[in-house]
């Protein structure tokens, strides 16, 4: 008997009273949606910029390698997306479009179609996500309603920059992934 059969037949041999799957209520959030989102991102150690603030900030950083896949900043790439993600090793900045974001925790949803390469938002030194301010939802429940049955091979919620507190619980930003997250609300 294969292990698959062994495990499944062991489970079938255990009688457990049936328990029905509960319906999950559509829990909401009180307060201003945009303000809630901004506070969440700040709490996760990200920043929120307006379009103007972003345009002023960008030249001050003197990035040599930038990849923008954002529909709002089409001409900002200084290099083309490589085929092999290893070639992104010294990427300074990635600019990506987020699909929607959740106010209660700042989580922004991106899928393969936004990422170019799945490694992009992680390997880049700094990350900017551009988000339509009309695409904010209140809680994760509405978030998953929006995702619905989407069939992207990969999708993720990004809520902040890479961080760790593994040394004496001291928060350090920039563990392995992007050292900063800036969200541009448009």
Partner 1 sequence: MSHPENATEFLKDQAKAKWHDETLWFVRDKRDRISKTIPEWEQLRELASQIKDNVLANLGSYLEDFERNALQNGIIIHWAADAEEHNQHVLRILREKNCKAIVKSKSILTEECHLNPYLEKEGIEVVDTDLGERIVQFLNQPPSHIVLPAIHLKKGEISELFHQKLHTEKGNEDPTYLTQAARIHLREKFLGAKVAITGVNFGIAETGEFVVCTNEGNADMGVHLADVHIACMGIEKILPRRKDLAVFLRLLARSATGQPITNYNSHFRSPSPGKEIHIILVDNGRTAQLSREKFKNSLKCIRCGACMNTCPIYRRSGGFSYGSTVPGPIGSILSPGLDMKKHSTLPFASTLCGSCSDVCPVKINIHEQLYEWRQEITKTHGEFGKGLSMKLASGIFKSPLAYKISGSLMRSALKALPDSLIYHPLNTWGKSRNLPDTPNETFQQWYKKNRS
- By the 10 Å C-beta count (0-12 exposed, 13-18 middle, 19+ buried), 6 is classed as exposed
Residue 50 beta carbon to partner 1: minimum distance, rounded to whole angstroms: 23
* Cα–Cα separations (whole angstroms), residue 27 to 75, 109, 139: 40, 19, 7
Residue 101 beta carbon to partner 1: minimum distance, rounded to whole angstroms: 11
Per the CB < 8 A criterion, the answer to whether 161 and 131 are in contact is no
Q: Which helix (H) or strand (E) holds 139?
A: none
Contacts for 58 with CB less than 8 Å, ≥ 6 apart: 76, 93
Residue 90 beta carbon to partner 1: minimum distance, rounded to whole angstroms: 11
Residue 168 beta carbon to partner 1: minimum distance, rounded to whole angstroms: 5
Identify which of 55, 180, 165 has the alpha carbon closest to the alpha carbon of residue 124: 180
Whats the size of the chain, residue-wise? 186
* Cα–Cα separations (whole angstroms), residue 128 to 26, 150, 158: 30, 24, 11
- Nearer Cβ to partner 1, position 16 or 52? 16
- Nearer Cβ to partner 1, position 3 or 80? 3
- Nearer Cβ to partner 1, position 68 or 162? 162
- Nearer Cβ to partner 1, position 26 or 55? 26
Residue 56 beta carbon to partner 1: minimum distance, rounded to whole angstroms: 26
What residue ranges bind partner 1 (CB under 8 A)?
2-4, 6-8, 10-14, 16-22, 24-25, 27, 40, 43-44, 85-86, 89, 104-107, 117-119, 122-123, 139-141, 143-145, 147, 149, 151-170, 172, 174-178
- Nearer Cβ to partner 1, position 161 or 185? 161
């Amino acid at each position: 008997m294969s292990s698959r059969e062994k495990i499944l037949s062991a489970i079938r041999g255990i009688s457990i009273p049936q328990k029905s799957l509960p319906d999950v209520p559509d829990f909401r959030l009180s307060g201003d949606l945009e303000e809630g989102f901004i506070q969440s991102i700040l709490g996760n150690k990200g920043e929120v910029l307006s379009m103007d603030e972003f345009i002023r900030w960008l030249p001050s950083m003197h990035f040599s390698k930038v990849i923008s896949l954002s529909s709002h900043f089409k001409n900002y790439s200084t290099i083309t997306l490589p085929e092999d993600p290893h070639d992104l090793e010294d990427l300074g900045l990635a600019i990506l479009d987020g699909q929607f974001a959740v106010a209660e925790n700042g989580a922004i949803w991106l899928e393969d179609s936004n990422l170019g390469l799945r490694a992009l938002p992680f390997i880049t030194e700094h990350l900017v996500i551009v988000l339509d301010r009309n695409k904010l939802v209140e809680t994760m429940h509405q978030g998953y309603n929006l995702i619905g049955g989407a069939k992207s091979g990969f999708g993720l919620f990004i809520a902040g920059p890479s961080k760790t507190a593994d040394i004496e619980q001291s928060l350090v930003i920039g563990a392995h992934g992007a050292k900063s997250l800036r969200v541009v609300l448009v």
